[in-house]
Structure 1
Amino acid sequence: MSTLSTHILDISTGKPAQGVRVYLEQDGVVLATAFTNAQGRITAFIPFLPAGRYRLVAEIGAWFTETGRDTLYPCAQIDFVTGETADEHFHLPFVIAPGGWSTYRGS
């Protein structure tokens, strides 16, 4: 089974986004919920990730509101698929700003 981690960086300030609620869901069912740490990371989101299709959702709208900024986006979400490889690690970071967000496959 695979593992999953994430990192959220606010590129408008150049700082990690601490305290963002992130959850993992499959077929509309929430499997895990966590908050980013002081470095903007969730290093061990879920211990084992079986093969399948998932959605990783970061609630960036609430975080921007808490930091006194407006954003168009209530959340950023990454839909992804894991394969049959037993020991694959998925690091799926979010790069956010009030006006947009992006992602990439990290290592």
Structure 2
Amino acid sequence: MGTKTIGVRDDVYERLKARKREGESFTDLMDRLLDESPGDWRDGFGGLESDAAAALERIAAESRTQTSSGLATRQQDALEELADAMETESESTCGDQDRDE
């Protein structure tokens, strides 16, 4: 096994040195830190089994449908409330005009 020399900034070296355990080499330290890191999320991309992927797609589609339906219902309710408010305002304005005449 060969070795490589790498350059690190002084502040990074100090941070590494602070995390180094007694008797641990910098190679051992970096190996330990790499093992502890969660890794790249792309490494497991596409690893979902087809049954699980199909279930996830179904659940996502149902969620989109429910959200869309809920938004449409709330929008319709808001439009009806607005129409009622405008009608009430129109009736009160007409009633005021009748009294003025």
Scaled to the shorter chain, the TM-score interval is under 0.3
Greater share of helix: 2
Greater share of strand: 1
- The structure whose RCO (Cα within 8 Å, separation 6+) is larger is 1
Q: Which of the pair has more CA radius of gyration?
A: 2
Q: TM-score, normalised by structure 1?
A: 0.14
